[in-house]
A = this chain, B = another copy of it.
Amino acid sequence: MSKPTETERCIESLIAVFQKYSGKDGKSCTLSKTEFLSFMNTELAAFTKNQKDPGVLDRMMKKLDLNSDGQLDFQEFLNLIGGLAIACHDSFLKASQKCI
């Protein structure tokens, strides 16, 4: 097999990261609240530690949990990654004054 492309590597990484954290407790294919917090405080610590409001992660979990089952499935997890990517992308565009 040839070397994966950057995009393929990314898709694999997102699946691997989700499986790593969702496998920590309980149902192995969803993120519980504890697993979500563990993911946010480890993988996205740079984002999390800049939040002054201690309730921000609670509200994020509630907002991401579209079917309100107290768990994040892979689709709900991807919405989180997508939302962060869009926020980063928008701030790059603003900084570079392109497409505004």
Which chain A residues have a beta carbon within 8 Å of chain B's beta carbons? 5-18, 27-29, 39, 42-46, 74-75, 78-79, 81-82, 84-86, 88-89, 92-93, 98-99
Contact = CB atoms under 8 A, between A and B. Distances in A.
A interface, over-half SS: helix
Given A7-B17, A15-B85, A85-B78, A93 B29 contact: yes
Contact of A10 (B10, B27, B46, B92): B10
How many chain copies? Answer: 2
A81 to B, nearest CB: 7
17 contacts: A5-B45, A6-B16, A6-B43, A7-B13, A7-B14, A7-B81, A8-B44, A10-B81, A11-B81, A11-B88, A28-B98, A28-B99, A29-B98, A75-B82, A75-B86, A78-B85, A79-B82
